[in-house]
Structure 1
Amino acid sequence: MTDTTTATDVADEFLDGLLGSLSLEQKVRLLTGASFWTLHDEPQIGLETIVVSDGPAGVRGQLWDERDSSASLPSPTSLAASWDVERVHRLGRLIAAEARRKGVGVALGPTVNIQRSPRGGRHFEAYSEDPWLSGVVGTAFVKGVQSCGVGATPKHYVANDSETDRMTVDVQVDERTLREVYLAPFERMVVEGGAWLVMSSYNSVNGVTMTENDLLRSPLKEEWGFDGVVVSDWMGVRDTVAAGSSAQDLAMPGPDGVWGDALVEAVQAGQVDEAAIDEKVRRILRLAGRLGALEGVEAATPLAEPWPQERIDALLREAAADGMVLVRNEGLLPLDPAAAPTIALLGEHARIARTQGGGSATVFPDHVVTPFDGLVEAYGAERVRYAAGVKSSESVLPIDGRVATDPVTGEPGVHVRFLAEDGAVLLDEHRASGKLVWLGDPILGETAVVEATAEFTAPADGEYSVGFAGLGLFRFEVDGELKSDGLFFPEGTDPFMAFLNPPKQSFPVDLKAGQSVSLRLEHRPQQQAGLAAVMFTFGYEEPFADPEAELARAVELAAASDVAVVVVGTTETLESEGFDRTGLRLPDGQDELVRRVLAVNPRTVVVVNSGGPVILPWLEEAPAVLLTWFPGQETGGALADVLSGAREPGGRIPTTWAADEEDVPVWQVEPIDGKLFYDEKLNVGYREWLRRAALGGPAPAIPFGHGLGYTEWELGESTLDGRTVSVPVTNVGDRAGKQVVQVYLSRVSESDIERPVLWLAGYALIRAEAGEAAVATVELEARSLQYWSVDDHAWRTEPGEYAVQVGTSVATLGEPIRFTV
């Protein structure tokens, strides 16, 4: 081997040479993180520190706050809704650029768990209910990230498809279902995408926790040839010997954990083979080489350079619009700005943009374009009038420079001090926002009190509420008057759920515009789930008129306007890591707002701003309904582009939406006696909807693959030549547009093998000018016709008759073309 080699050429002999120079203690040290977000270096062998960061929808870096802003991408549900793998690849390249700008070598994403139940709290962070689509989109993301010198980390391997009791739940799933549905996306990202890392999940599968599960060895490493690093979810490694002997490679975070000295002793006692330690270290060194963090080894791919802000904003605006799904349109959209319509913009989501879900995927963009901002830009301030209508969230807004002043520096924002038990100041800093998070920070070990202070100034007359949302011990004062002092931890609440969605305490203050009050909040840090952590929001609530009066004002405004745009949706306190959704209904009052507006204005557009499915009881009454998901920082501009027709809504539904909660095929996400049974087997999502429909069951509100554009299309007769499906496609409308031509397979002849009614086997994305014709071509993969044989423990193709159907959703398919295998 030459002095400098590329990471793809790094031979085991070279790595073994490095390993041979390390003591057992040095090797074991490398297997646990150095801190919350970093891996250990080892100067003796030229190994540099590697920084990792959450990265499914933006790269946060080592700080969980506004001091290190990040590009905020549309939620993965939005990316999957675009069905555009070329753009997803570009977004992966953006992730890599953001990572390298922040000194990050590994992005902890994508999340490719299956949207098994719409109640899954992390639904917004995953792609689809379909394993094929999830794998294809996720692979494009992985390739994009890694093409620019940053490691991608498909997660969470495997069956972490809901959040309830995620640390302890034992998922019971049969071998065939596990292979065909839940492992399939990971297989594609490893075999085709070449992922450099995979993150193991918290849960157990069939009785064994995943950091100790044989599934890490086979199929991941032995069958698929994965030569990267298996990193744990944070605090997921819980046993020294069992995890040490397993194919789990890296325990995060650090520096503490169950490995370290205990693992050294286990090796010395013969409980863990040192060869297992060497294999883990070898993989970490191979990763370091790929990242350019190992002396003498050239990075596997060129390292990304930072992108200019204009390029970032343009891509994110384009991506957000292309993921929006137009569900209904009775000729109302697009709304031409040249016609100068007056627009009643209604709903709190229009002014407080819901751009991302809660939990570890959260990032802090340097700007957010709200729907109000976007529509004002597109239609003019004099044409857009706003009313909240209903209060859509009970959470507090973080205090920021718009309403508060740092009492020490005089700058807009908040002042924060870390105090020792004797009152000594350990850290003193100005902050721009009252959303405050520190995870694993060494200073927390010495800190007795975290103090936040601010001068809150009312921007307008009204009754505000000031306070905080947090977990643990708090003391809160307003103008020196004690308002709250105690422990805030809801009884019976899961610690993770409480930490990510903490209780709120707020107190009314009646203020005139420009009037100020002094706020002081003290928090005593405690160990949260064994982790030194501080996370709280120093915040406020805006004045809200009498609910009936505010609703009446919104309805009155709608009646007096040419068009009403009602923005409804969920929040990060309803869709978040750490807990599952209790239901699919919109927050109280939002459905009533929509109904009341529809009653007075027949030209109403309803914009649904949620990361995952919600129930839309007024769907058939609304002339236009647009789903935006959580669209990221360019929310408002993208929405204005779609409403105005500057861009076409390009989305197609990647997961089925139900008309009613009672219709949802998989509702249960709560374990029973610690076990969660995947009894639906292969019939996840649209597959189960189709199976039940054949038995007279309900139809969904929005079927898988559905989405409208602003032009009209004709699909000709499909043909099948070998495994190539072709169909003529013509844009017969009067403007350019996008169509997603979808191909589904089914089994025709009788079979001893249970099959879904239909399953997605491919698609072609067509963009065409008005009047333009094209041919959509889809190559059927051999795997699409295979099943996993539990007898042979291998993929097998069953001879017999099959059918292929082509259409623009699972509910609008052409005549079947039969063929024999």
Structure 2
Amino acid sequence: MTGPEPTSAEEAREAVVVAALRALDLDTKTRLLAGQDMWSLPALPVIGLSSLVMSDGPVGVRGVRWSADAPSVALPSPTALAAAWDPELARRAGVLLAQEARRKGVHVLLAPTVNLHRSPLGGRHFECYSEDPYLTGVIGGGYVSGVQSGGVGTTVKHFVANDAETDRFTVDNRVSERALRELYLAPFEAIVRNARPWGVMTAYNSVNGTTMTEHHHLVEEVLRGEWGFDGVNVSDWTAARDTAGAANGGLDLAMPGPRTVYGPALARAVRDGRVAEATVDAAVRRVLRLAARAGALAGAEPAVTEPPAPVDGAALAREIARRSFVLVRNERRVLPLRPRGTVALIGAAARDARVLGGGSATVFPARTVSPLDGLTAALPDGTLTYAVGADPVTGPALDDPGFTVRAVCRNAAGEITGTRSAPGAAVQWMGTDLPEGVTHDTLDTVELTGTYTPRESGRHTFAVKGTGAFTLTVGGTTYYDGAQRPSQDDPSGTFFAAPVPRAEVELTAGEPVEVSLTHAVRLPEDLPMKVVTFALAHSGPPRDADELIAEAVEAARNADTAVVVVATTERVESEGFDRRDLRLPGRQDDLVHAVAAANPDTVVVVNSGSPVELPWRDEVAAILLTWFPGQEGGAALADVLTGVHEPGGRLPTTWGTLADAPVTQVVPVNGELPYSEDLFIGYRAWDRAGRTPTYPFGHGLGYTDWAYESLETDGTTVRVRVRNTGERPGREVIQLYLSPAEPAPDRPARGLAAFASVEAGPGESAEATVELPRRAFEVWDDTTKAWAFVKGSYEIFAGRSITDRRLTAPINV
């Protein structure tokens, strides 16, 4: 299948691309495909090509600097964006990120992530949207359209079946073709057909025996051949392993550069006859097309000549957050909070907010509004108290505000060659991103030096994050002089490893102490990407956990309402590893049990990017899921708790216990991970197993009530009328599920077919008109290797979740 007919502007742009390609020799072409450093491609002045710059996303645009001194707007996590069930909101998020990219000189955003929530143990699920392929494709399509409307490219990732982190570089995921088509490829297909992304990123893993950077069938025959994708295929960083295999498999860019399997190695492969030069030309043409679209190729009119109007990043981050919050329980309508009632805010996570997930999705906002900040500003003086209660962080934490340090670079002679600020007491220098005057050839040591100011007196712990040789000195005493070794084979392991405690020091509150951490930089010559990364971490004097809980209980007992904020940490949810369980870390569950026993009006705010177990759910009055809510999360939380806005979210994935979860296998056996559940993941699997989750897919409450009055359909168009029967305005997400009248054993009992949202005031009615996509009636036929339209009788359900189905009507096709 081919894509849409090109416009005259596209044809003119393509003519410039073809002319530029003809001007390049083989060595220049293969050098372009290898990249020039961590984040960019080389400029080629001979054809008017500027250097194309890429950046990680998806919640912000970090740029080429991995540091808090290059701040970015931080939006809520992708799970939060999907929880809003609003593709237009996703598009607006994309517009903002395009604005951020242009501000930072970025041409291509390495986002969105549209892999599925196959198992709740997936460590990177906060960076994906949903367990449902249709919802993922719709939200991802909105995001891509928004980013590219700002003249910035996207790379939809990770193609394909990159649904867990364990052994992600080597795992061979064994997936049936039907499951690939109906589940894992489906979001990519929808986005390619409907949003026309300028790029796709291929994953580290293998699928059915072939690594994705060499998967000719899925890349050349499916992605490009069937779907008409005309963009660039870039590898995940260091994923490309074989020159001829990657080139012949359809990989255009092997990143990061310049030491990849492309460049001189690709030129030799062409000259040796292992790769046709026409294959290289096709890849270069796609790269030049990307550059032309992004305005980086002279003589070619960019795809967007006038970017959209400026967006207020903080305001949009706050709006997305409050519209993503999912109220899953609200007994006795304890929310919104009573005016002028007293509130006990409890939890370390209320003071030190977790606003985003760990790994390459990390950005550094200029400000972060914690729940304590947000409620302090929103509630009348004298009505709010705070108690720590329990801390989700067990061990030293990064980014402690008590550090005031800078990074000092020295050569082998001990001479200072450069300095740079080091916010968060961290160094993360990638590729050529080094302080002015410093090169990898001359860099011998980096010292983090400055002071730490404690906020409590007592015994403090300092820890080192990183691999290699370190010397740690606190208050003039050297506590550690040795080497730390990586704990895993993943080249990215240094980024994700926990800090190692190395010093215990008695300190006095408010009195600064000198600290120094010196790292001897020893980077192997053959390293594919040169990265200098390490950090100082800290934990304060330990408090008795029972004593902290007792203090929280007393605060709760003396307040009208107790609001407990519980959270995961970057050691629980992050790129680089999968979860071992779904429990909240530390003593947080004990805290909630105790507070709920002291105050029946206990509200629990769950600050996690993906499902956690809620063993106290029947003991508390209300539960609000806030995901990783981005930089304005605390302000949005105050908006929702006080009733200025209603919580607008619905669950994009099923929440349940690990014991009941139908799909839990994420660890390969002998290098292979069989997707033996086939089509049955998420709510499909819960349905088939006959198990009742804690909260079902699509569930979410507001501050008003809705009556479903009528459902009409002609088989392709569905009209649903609802009425707001409550006392305040509200928004309702109308969900449509299609079910075969006689489902086959190998076919899910029902699936999300479409959805729409409406708004209405008290007593008002609203109607949604929704077109059912043809794909809702199709299955993949393994015999014919094609989509088959399944005729027969169906039922269409309209409701508030997969289990809360209010209206039904028959459909015959």
CA distance in 2, matches of 1:780, 1:357: 35
| Contact map agreement 1:159 1:182 (CA 8 A) in 2 | yes
| Contact map agreement 1:805 1:816 (CA 8 A) in 2 | yes
Q: Measure how far apart 1:259 and its partner are.
A: 1.2
Instruction: Decide which of 212, 227, 230 is 1:227's aligned counterpart.
Output: 230
Q: Compared with structure 1, are the counterparts of its residues 676 and 7 closer, same or farther at alpha carbon in structure 2 (3 Å cutoff)?
A: farther
Higher deviation after alignment, 771-780 or 631-640: 771-780
Higher deviation after alignment, 426-435 or 555-564: 426-435
| Contact map agreement 1:7 1:297 (CA 8 A) in 2 | no
Instruction: Decide which of 110, 113, 125 is 1:111's aligned counterpart.
Output: 113
CA distance in 1, matches of 2:413, 2:29: 40
SS of equivalent to 1:331 = helix
CA distance in 2, matches of 1:499, 1:460: 29
CA distance in 2, matches of 1:399, 1:763: 41
| Contact map agreement 1:333 1:645 (CA 8 A) in 2 | no
CA distance in 2, matches of 1:634, 1:293: 34
| Contact map agreement 1:526 1:532 (CA 8 A) in 2 | no
Q: Compared with structure 1, are the counterparts of its residues 814 and 275 closer, same or farther at alpha carbon in structure 2 (3 Å cutoff)?
A: same
Q: Measure how far apart 1:228 and its partner are.
A: 0.5
Q: Which residue of 1 aligns with 2:3?
A: none
Which residue identity does 1:680 align to in structure 2? E
Instruction: Decide which of 745, 751, 774 is 2:738's aligned counterpart.
Output: 745
Q: Compared with structure 1, are the counterparts of its residues 270 and 517 closer, same or farther at alpha carbon in structure 2 (3 Å cutoff)?
A: same
Q: Which residue of 2 aligns with 1:379?
A: 379
Which residue identity does 1:797 align to in structure 2? F
Higher deviation after alignment, 155-164 or 245-254: 245-254
Q: Measure how far apart 1:721 and its partner are.
A: 1.6
CA distance in 1, matches of 2:469, 2:731: 54
Q: Compared with structure 1, are the counterparts of its residues 760 and 109 closer, same or farther at alpha carbon in structure 2 (3 Å cutoff)?
A: same
| Contact map agreement 1:749 1:800 (CA 8 A) in 2 | no
CA distance in 1, matches of 2:685, 2:743: 19
Q: Which residue of 1 aligns with 2:671?
A: 674
| Contact map agreement 2:73 2:365 (CA 8 A) in 1 | yes
Q: Which residue of 1 aligns with 2:353?
A: 353
| Contact map agreement 1:72 1:364 (CA 8 A) in 2 | yes
CA distance in 1, matches of 2:443, 2:321: 42
SS of equivalent to 1:814 = strand
Instruction: Decide which of 770, 785, 788 is 2:780's aligned counterpart.
Output: 788
Q: Compared with structure 1, are the counterparts of its residues 333 and 100 closer, same or farther at alpha carbon in structure 2 (3 Å cutoff)?
A: farther
Q: Which residue of 2 aligns with 1:315?
A: 316
Q: Measure how far apart 1:535 and its partner are.
A: 2.2
| Contact map agreement 2:405 2:449 (CA 8 A) in 1 | yes
| Contact map agreement 1:150 1:303 (CA 8 A) in 2 | no
SS of equivalent to 2:559 = coil
1:293-313 Cα shifts (integer Å, max 9, x gaps): 1111111013547946xx211
Instruction: Decide which of 662, 665, 670 is 1:665's aligned counterpart.
Output: 662
Instruction: Decide which of 446, 451, 473 is 1:450's aligned counterpart.
Output: 446
CA distance in 1, matches of 2:138, 2:765: 26
Q: Measure how far apart 1:7 and its partner are.
A: 5.7
Superposition pairs of residues 325-474 of structure 1, within 5 angstroms: 325-336=326-337, 339-398=339-398, 402-404=401-403, 413-441=404-432, 443-474=439-470
Which residue identity does 1:201 align to in structure 2? A
1:71-97 Cα shifts (integer Å, max 9, x gaps): 000000000000011111100000000
Q: Measure how far apart 1:290 and its partner are.
A: 0.4
Q: Which residue of 2 aligns with 1:409?
A: none
SS of equivalent to 1:477 = strand
CA distance in 2, matches of 1:663, 1:435: 40
CA distance in 2, matches of 1:122, 1:578: 8
Q: Which residue of 1 aligns with 2:4?
A: none
Superposition pairs of residues 37-56 of structure 1, within 5 angstroms: 37-56=39-58
Are 1:502 and 2:498 counterparts?
A: yes
| Contact map agreement 2:257 2:529 (CA 8 A) in 1 | no
CA distance in 1, matches of 2:634, 2:426: 23
Higher deviation after alignment, 273-282 or 25-34: 25-34
| Contact map agreement 1:651 1:707 (CA 8 A) in 2 | yes
Which residue identity does 1:560 align to in structure 2? N
Q: Measure how far apart 1:12 and its partner are.
A: 4.9
SS of equivalent to 1:30 = helix
| Contact map agreement 2:38 2:529 (CA 8 A) in 1 | no
SS of equivalent to 1:118 = coil
Are 1:243 and 2:246 counterparts?
A: yes
| Contact map agreement 2:62 2:364 (CA 8 A) in 1 | yes
Q: Measure how far apart 1:678 and its partner are.
A: 0.7
CA distance in 1, matches of 2:51, 2:283: 17
CA distance in 2, matches of 1:611, 1:37: 27
CA distance in 2, matches of 1:492, 1:243: 26
SS of equivalent to 2:659 = helix
Q: Measure how far apart 1:350 and its partner are.
A: 0.3
Q: Measure how far apart 1:399 and its partner are.
A: 5.5
Q: Which residue of 2 aligns with 1:63?
A: 65
Q: Measure how far apart 1:740 and its partner are.
A: 0.7
| Contact map agreement 2:96 2:147 (CA 8 A) in 1 | yes
SS of equivalent to 2:409 = strand
| Contact map agreement 1:30 1:281 (CA 8 A) in 2 | yes
Instruction: Decide which of 707, 711, 714 is 1:718's aligned counterpart.
Output: 711
Superposition pairs of residues 517-596 of structure 1, within 5 angstroms: 517-527=513-523, 530-596=528-594
Q: Measure how far apart 1:450 and its partner are.
A: 1.1
| Contact map agreement 1:558 1:564 (CA 8 A) in 2 | yes
| Contact map agreement 1:158 1:210 (CA 8 A) in 2 | yes
1:5-37 Cα shifts (integer Å, max 9, x gaps): 976234655433222211111111110111101
Q: Measure how far apart 1:577 and its partner are.
A: 0.6
Higher deviation after alignment, 415-424 or 532-541: 532-541
Superposition pairs of residues 26-175 of structure 1, within 5 angstroms: 26-175=28-177
CA distance in 1, matches of 2:717, 2:441: 62
Q: Compared with structure 1, are the counterparts of its residues 578 and 48 closer, same or farther at alpha carbon in structure 2 (3 Å cutoff)?
A: same
SS of equivalent to 2:33 = coil
Q: Which residue of 1 aligns with 2:480?
A: 484
CA distance in 1, matches of 2:503, 2:386: 26
Structure 1: which 5+ residue stretches go unaligned?
Answer: 405-412
Instruction: Decide which of 768, 782, 791 is 2:760's aligned counterpart.
Output: 768
SS of equivalent to 2:734 = strand
Q: Which residue of 2 aligns with 1:599?
A: 597
Higher deviation after alignment, 82-91 or 504-513: 504-513
Higher deviation after alignment, 440-449 or 62-71: 440-449
Structure 1 runs of 4+ off > 6 angstroms?
none
| Contact map agreement 1:526 1:533 (CA 8 A) in 2 | no
Instruction: Decide which of 283, 286, 293 is 1:283's aligned counterpart.
Output: 286
Q: Which residue of 2 aligns with 1:407?
A: none
Which residue identity does 1:534 align to in structure 2? V
| Contact map agreement 1:27 1:281 (CA 8 A) in 2 | yes
Q: Compared with structure 1, are the counterparts of its residues 359 and 85 closer, same or farther at alpha carbon in structure 2 (3 Å cutoff)?
A: same
Higher deviation after alignment, 535-544 or 369-378: 535-544
Which residue identity does 2:321 align to in structure 1? A
Number of matched pairs: 799
1:568-627 Cα shifts (integer Å, max 9, x gaps): 010122111111111110012110000000000011100000000000011112110000
Instruction: Decide which of 764, 771, 774 is 1:779's aligned counterpart.
Output: 771
CA distance in 1, matches of 2:361, 2:734: 31
Q: Compared with structure 1, are the counterparts of its residues 588 and 299 closer, same or farther at alpha carbon in structure 2 (3 Å cutoff)?
A: same
- Percent of matched pairs sharing the same residue: 47
| Contact map agreement 2:256 2:529 (CA 8 A) in 1 | no
1:21-71 Cα shifts (integer Å, max 9, x gaps): 111111111101111011111111111111100121100000001111000
Which residue identity does 1:520 align to in structure 2? S
Q: Which residue of 2 aligns with 1:516?
A: 512
SS of equivalent to 2:226 = coil
Q: Compared with structure 1, are the counterparts of its residues 497 and 119 closer, same or farther at alpha carbon in structure 2 (3 Å cutoff)?
A: farther
Q: Which residue of 2 aligns with 1:408?
A: none
Instruction: Decide which of 247, 260, 267 is 2:263's aligned counterpart.
Output: 260
| Contact map agreement 2:16 2:300 (CA 8 A) in 1 | no
CA distance in 1, matches of 2:399, 2:351: 16
| Contact map agreement 2:53 2:108 (CA 8 A) in 1 | yes
Are 1:704 and 2:705 counterparts?
A: no
Q: Which residue of 2 aligns with 1:645?
A: 643
Which residue identity does 1:135 align to in structure 2? G
Q: Which residue of 2 aligns with 1:293?
A: 296
